[in-house]
Structure 1
Amino acid sequence: MYRHSLRKRVAIAFALCVAVLSVVWGFAFFAAIRLSEDRVLTQQLQLAANSYPIMPANMRSYDTTAGLPAQLQAWALTNPAVGLYEFEAEELHVAVVDSGNERQRAFVVFDVSGIEAASSEDWWLLLVITGVVGTLGVLGFGLGVLVMRRAVAPVAQLAKAVADIDVEHLSMDDYKRIASSRFGDDEVGVLAATIEKMLERISAFVARERYFTGSASHELRTPITVITGALELLEQSELSTSDMKALDRVRRATLDMRTTIEMFLCLARETDDGLYQEQFFVRPLVSNAVELQRHLLSRKLVDVEIDYLANPAVNGHPQAFAIAVNNLVRNAFEHTLAGQGPVRIRIDEHELLVTNQLSNGTDAQYSPTEASSRGYGLGLGIVQRLCERNGWSFTLRADEQRVVARLSW
């Protein structure tokens, strides 16, 4: 349980990291200053010890320009302003002071030869400082990562819990892993509570979907079965020609209704007992679809040409494939006008082509939704969904005066 919100914890972690790094850097710079100070005093003392018993006179004052060291006299004649000056080549530090005489300056010269470190020592000192700075930087980075990781740990914990959930097979352990009570009342707790409610809604939806498809499968098929049985009894009685035509229309409407029910139930099912991996042959399904829809061409004098170039075996849902083929064949038969045949169906190793003639000249490729709006059949959108569910591909192309539906696998 966390007492503060995620935003406040991140701010506190950042402030803590900055404060710790600032303190560490402050101690590092203070230590460097003290080290430099001790080093200068040590060098001065060592120089004095080496000159014992004569004390080195490396700091002297001069009231006149003529008394200055020869290398400084030309510079002193330029009447420099009061201040401090350094001459690296001569290893001299000079302080120009006001002597009270407007025409004459006083000089204090500090000879640092033997006190300043050699260049090689400077490089070693720079290397040591760089190493210390690098080490502090790495430690600071590690500290920042550690602090920020602790600050966002609830978010990572919630993300891992959500990633481990199998939405299709929810269990009580899944609900326990994302229980909002585990994450407090901050932003992470609100997010966990939202995800928890969403999972509850998904579970309820899946339960309703399974109940609906199970009930609808029985309740919708039963009337169709009753109607089909009644039609078979009527066929055995003596009927007039007009009654036979009406009976034939009822039979076709019943068949269309059965196909529609099977199609929507197939789309509504979330799972279908592994039928999406069943292997089946394409040729029998195509032949059956042509025979079922042939009545649509009875008065159009349109031929059907079927090229069986192969008899491929396809993995997927056989009922879904049969529904898709029935839709394509029915659309082709319905939208072929009298005398504009033939309707060509070609089966290759990896695709099925259904081609029919149009009365208008076009040259475009449409999506299933666009094709439905142009009158090529509302079932094409359903065909597209069935193909997506099974990993097949479906395209519809209107070229010149033809419509070519392509179903590939």
Structure 2
Amino acid sequence: MSEDRVLTQQLQHAAENYPELDTNLRGYETVEGLPESLREWAQTNPAAGIHEFEAAELHVAVIPTNNEQQAAFVVFDVAGIEAPSSEDWWYLLIITGVVGTLGVLGFGLGILVMRRAIAPVTQLAKAVENIDLEHLSAEDHKRIESSRFGDDEVGMLADTIEKTLERISAFVERERYFTSSASHELRTPITVITGALELLEQSDLSATDVKTLNRVRRATLDMKTTIEMFLCLSRETDDGLYNEMFLVMPLVSLAVDQQRYLLSGKFVDVEIDKHAKPIVYGHPQAFSIAVNNLVRNAFEHTLDGQGPITVRIKQDELLVTNQVSSDADDRHTPPEASSHGYGLGLGIVQRLCERNGWSFSLLSDEKRVIARLSW
């Protein structure tokens, strides 16, 4: 367009001066022959190259010659040929408008295409969000059915989610069946053993038999409590058992009495330091098992003469402390807490605490081990 415009303007200028055809290009060998507007500039020995003079509408080429003191000049008069600046601005404005319009149209089209592309993903996300995983129904499976989303990547994702929900439903059903069956099958032998022990208590038993009977009774009670706790942990619902209110002191005293046989033959004192009478909200069986496990660990790992064992009850925490060294200069490595209390490790105690919103920590040094249960 620029080339055609320049040629057209030059031809039009020549037609207007017909029959005199003045050429726009002229050569000058001396400074005196140049147009008057260029003479002063030419006397400054300008460098070789192209120079433009917008006010005079002239383009000048400085050409070096054999005479080092003088150069030749080629002057191109663009008056009447070069388009005015306003025309350039109009072209620039038109080009900018076209590019801007195309940009806006492209942006709008991109948003439209993007929305149409992610619409199935949004629909799938809303369908998954409205699903109640604890109570899956046929309507939930219908809502996530993969056939509703086509055969593209979204359909593949919906199919995977659908199969996952089916597996979850099957797993929940198996878990419910197992807990309901195990609840009966595990409790029945415990009930039979308890009944047999009550009958044996009515018989004439020797001191050795009574001691053995007490051991069986304790093991049976431990097993019964453990079974009930594990069944409770395996269920999704707690049937309100985690919102019961109970006193801490009776459960601590019971745990100390039940585990005191572990100190038989050891000269170890047990001190219950009661600073408050706290009331805890949660699962009393879970709290009892946690306390029994901590007390059992303390009793098992306290050697003869390494005492006393201190159970300190505060308003918001329970501390069980046992000595592992009877002499300050005797450097013993503190033993690890037992993982056999009720068959439960400290990991299970941690889980019981997390389930009830309690916290558990174990601190040890060369002299003592402190188990801390707070609520």
State how many pairs are aligned. Answer: 355
Give a deviation string over 1:343-379, Cα, whole Å, max 9, x none: 1111222211111122584678x9xxx7557999853
Choose the corresponding residue for 1:212, options 178, 197, 200: 178
Relative distance call for 1:310 and 1:127 in structure 2 (3 A) is: farther
> Corresponding residue for 2:266?
300
Give a deviation string over 1:273-319, Cα, whole Å, max 9, x none: 23223333322222222222222223323222112212222232222
Give a deviation string over 1:12-43, Cα, whole Å, max 9, x none: xxxxxxxxxxxxxxxxxxxxx89xx99x99xx
1:61 Cα deviation from its structure 2 partner: 4.1
Question: What secondary structure, in the 3-state scheme, does the structure 2 residue paired with 1:111 have?
Answer: coil
Amino acid at match of 1:86: E
> Corresponding residue for 1:199?
165
1:113 Cα deviation from its structure 2 partner: 10
2:74 is the alignment partner of 1:110: no
Q: Contact 1:95–1:109 (CA<8 Å) still a contact in 2? A: no
2:188 is the alignment partner of 1:222: yes
Relative distance call for 1:295 and 1:78 in structure 2 (3 A) is: closer
Relative distance call for 1:61 and 1:348 in structure 2 (3 A) is: same
2:125 is the alignment partner of 1:159: yes
1:342 Cα deviation from its structure 2 partner: 1.6
User: Is the radius of gyration larger for structure 1 or structure 2?
Assistant: 2
2:30 is the alignment partner of 1:62: no
What is the CA–CA distance in structure 1 between the aligned matches of 2:238 and 2:257, rounded to whole Å?
27
1:108 Cα deviation from its structure 2 partner: 3.2
Give a deviation string over 1:34-63, Cα, whole Å, max 9, x none: 9xx99x99xx8xxx9xxx9xxxx9984435
What is the CA–CA distance in structure 1 between the aligned matches of 2:184 and 2:222, rounded to whole Å?
17
1:335 Cα deviation from its structure 2 partner: 1.8
> Corresponding residue for 1:174?
140
Question: What secondary structure, in the 3-state scheme, does the structure 2 residue paired with 1:301 have?
Answer: coil
Q: Contact 1:93–1:111 (CA<8 Å) still a contact in 2? A: no
1:126 Cα deviation from its structure 2 partner: 7.0
Question: What secondary structure, in the 3-state scheme, does the structure 2 residue paired with 1:400 have?
Answer: coil
Q: Contact 1:92–1:113 (CA<8 Å) still a contact in 2? A: no
The alignment's C-alpha RMSD in Å is 4.2
What is the CA–CA distance in structure 2 between the aligned matches of 1:407 and 1:235, rounded to whole Å?
37
> TM-score, normalization: structure 2?
0.78
Amino acid at match of 1:273: D
More helix by proportion, 1 or 2? 1
> TM-score, normalization: structure 1?
0.72
Choose the corresponding residue for 2:152, options 186, 192, 202: 186
What is the CA–CA distance in structure 1 between the aligned matches of 2:241 and 2:151, rounded to whole Å?
46
1:197 Cα deviation from its structure 2 partner: 1.1
Q: Contact 1:63–1:105 (CA<8 Å) still a contact in 2? A: yes
Relative distance call for 1:229 and 1:140 in structure 2 (3 A) is: same
What is the CA–CA distance in structure 1 between the aligned matches of 2:295 and 2:360, rounded to whole Å?
14
What is the CA–CA distance in structure 2 between the aligned matches of 1:306 and 1:112, rounded to whole Å?
113
Relative distance call for 1:131 and 1:313 in structure 2 (3 A) is: farther
Relative distance call for 1:274 and 1:88 in structure 2 (3 A) is: farther
> Corresponding residue for 2:200?
234
What is the CA–CA distance in structure 1 between the aligned matches of 2:119 and 2:22, rounded to whole Å?
63
> Corresponding residue for 1:262?
228
1:177 Cα deviation from its structure 2 partner: 2.1
1:145 Cα deviation from its structure 2 partner: 2.8
Percent identical among aligned pairs is 69
1:244 Cα deviation from its structure 2 partner: 1.1
> Corresponding residue for 2:67?
none
What is the CA–CA distance in structure 2 between the aligned matches of 1:282 and 1:138, rounded to whole Å?
71
1:214 Cα deviation from its structure 2 partner: 1.7
Choose the corresponding residue for 2:285, options 319, 335, 346: 319
What is the CA–CA distance in structure 1 between the aligned matches of 2:177 and 2:318, rounded to whole Å?
35
Query: Which consecutive unaligned segments of at least 5 residues does structure 2 have?
Result: 64-70
Relative distance call for 1:90 and 1:210 in structure 2 (3 A) is: same
Q: Contact 2:223–2:342 (CA<8 Å) still a contact in 1? A: no
Amino acid at match of 1:208: R
What is the CA–CA distance in structure 2 between the aligned matches of 1:265 and 1:294, rounded to whole Å?
27
204-213 vs 309-318, which moves further: 309-318
